[in-house]
Amino acid sequence: MRKETSDSMSEQTKPNTEASANAAPADGPLLNVEHLRVSYHTYAGEVQSVRDISFHVDRGEILAIIGESGCGKSVTARSIMSLIRKPGEIKEGSKITFDGRDVLSFSKKEMRQYRGGECGMIFQDALVALDPTMRVGKQIMENLRIHTNMSKSEAAKEATRLLGAVGIPNPEQRFKEYPFEFSGGMRQRAMIAMAVACQPKLVIADEPTTALDVTIQAQIMELLKRLRNEDGTSIILITHDFGVVAGFADRIVVMYAGQIVESGTREEIFYNPQHPYTWALLGAVPRLDWQNKQVLRTIRGTPPDLIAPPKGCPFANRCELCMNVCLEEDPAYTPFSTSHKAKCWLHDPDCPQEVLEEANQFKVKGGDPLEQ
């Protein structure tokens, strides 16, 4: 969505960020998250929302983080933006590296330039995220004025262009309107325009299609894909819907109870899932080739209490293949390729053969991800 003009971004419109000047060479992953742990201190105790997760995002890659509500997806996204506030806490030993720099040690000035300038975020509920007392165009202008050397008139012109670029009709008029005058889909598009205004290297989209109808969902996802294809922007997509990521993500991370239980490329997760939780999620997605009477799979029980997480596998109390060891000890990751791993006792060399045979009956393949 870069401006397609012969004169590239001028000195007045280049991001005004010292952090960019000190950036590492453009090699290696753009984002590295290592041993991230996040807790919230409540009257009932310490809620361990994210429990020692590690992953990376390559340059120009789309990574989907998927899981049920409450599994830690949005907390992870907010941690990357360093938006965890009391009673929340990013625990000692957590490390978030962006373009070779430690995000958690940024100064206030560096953080101000990082948020919105180098890393943009599309929040889950645009109606809540947008300021209801400020015109939409002015909100986009504010982001541009903070992170670039644009004048007021230049920022207004660029904000209008961005509204048009994300598919909002009559952008000159919409520039002057308030969020409540926009439809749900248009508010989400305005959020995208704001997130990409300064051409960030990374955009985090937290449930960007929530409460939108299927047609608008497809348009929003196509808009994000175009952002990657045209600008090379890396994207983290937070969602609970496998159907949304099927034709969109390059890699998928599956989260449950604050942990990553499986990760791999889109093809590996859809064609060769290795964790019972992933099987269950895929089994809950309707298939186009199904007839009328197939029953969608449900997951029995409820997620564990993260004030007192189980000492074994967090999915054990809901897993139909649970063994005694699953209740007693958390499994280690088993690698299946350089990009694919899962943590489940089914892959232990000592797993009983009868359990493996039963597992084959439960395993669900997602079919062609492009046809979902």
Rounded CA-CA distance 272/340 in Å is 10
Rounded CA-CA distance 125/111 in Å is 23
260 with 245, same domain: the answer is: no
Last residue of a domain, one of 188, 221, 249: 249
Digits of tens for pLDDT over the chain (372 positions)?
Answer: 554 433 433 344 445 544 444 444 567 899 999 999 999 999 999 999 999 999 999 999 999 999 999 999 999 999 999 999 999 999 999 999 999 999 999 999 999 999 999 999 998 888 888 999 999 999 999 999 999 889 999 999 999 999 998 889 999 999 999 999 999 889 989 999 999 899 999 999 998 887 778 888 888 888 889 889 988 999 999 998 888 888 889 999 999 999 999 999 999 999 999 999 999 998 887 777 767 667 777 888 999 999 999 999 999 999 999 999 999 999 999 999 999 999 999 999 999 999 998 888 877 554 444 444
Determine the residue type at 11.
Answer: E
Rounded CA-CA distance 341/346 in Å is 13
The pLDDT score that the predictor gives to residue 267 is 95
Q: Is residue 220 part of a domain?
A: yes
Give the 3-state DSSP-derived string for 150-209, with helices as H, strands as E and coil as C.
CCHHHHHHHHHHHHHHCCCCCHHHHCCCCHHHCCHHHHHHHHHHHHHCCCCCEEEEECCC
- What is the largest distance, in Å, between two alpha-carbon atoms of the chain? 71
Say if residue 216 is exposed, middle or buried (CB neighbours under 10 Å; 0-12, 13-18, 19+): middle
Q: Is residue 4 part of a domain?
A: no
Q: Give Cβ neighbours of residue 80 (< 8 Å, ≥ 6 apart).
A: 31, 33, 96, 98, 103, 119, 204, 236
143 with 201, same domain: the answer is: yes
Q: State CA 137 to chain mean position distance.
A: 26
Q: Is residue 44 part of a domain?
A: yes
Q: Specify whether the CB–CB gap between 214 and 168 falls below 8 A.
A: no
For position 230, which CATH number holds? 3.40.50.300
228 with 318, same domain: the answer is: no
Q: Is residue 353 part of a domain?
A: yes
227 with 264, same domain: the answer is: no
Q: How many C-beta neighbours within 10 Å does residue 258 have? A: 28
Domain that holds residue 44: 18-22+30-249
Q: Is residue 9 part of a domain?
A: no
Q: Is residue 7 part of a domain?
A: no
Number of domains in the chain: 2
Q: Is residue 6 part of a domain?
A: no
267 with 304, same domain: the answer is: yes
The pLDDT score that the predictor gives to residue 1 is 58
Say if residue 354 is exposed, middle or buried (CB neighbours under 10 Å; 0-12, 13-18, 19+): exposed
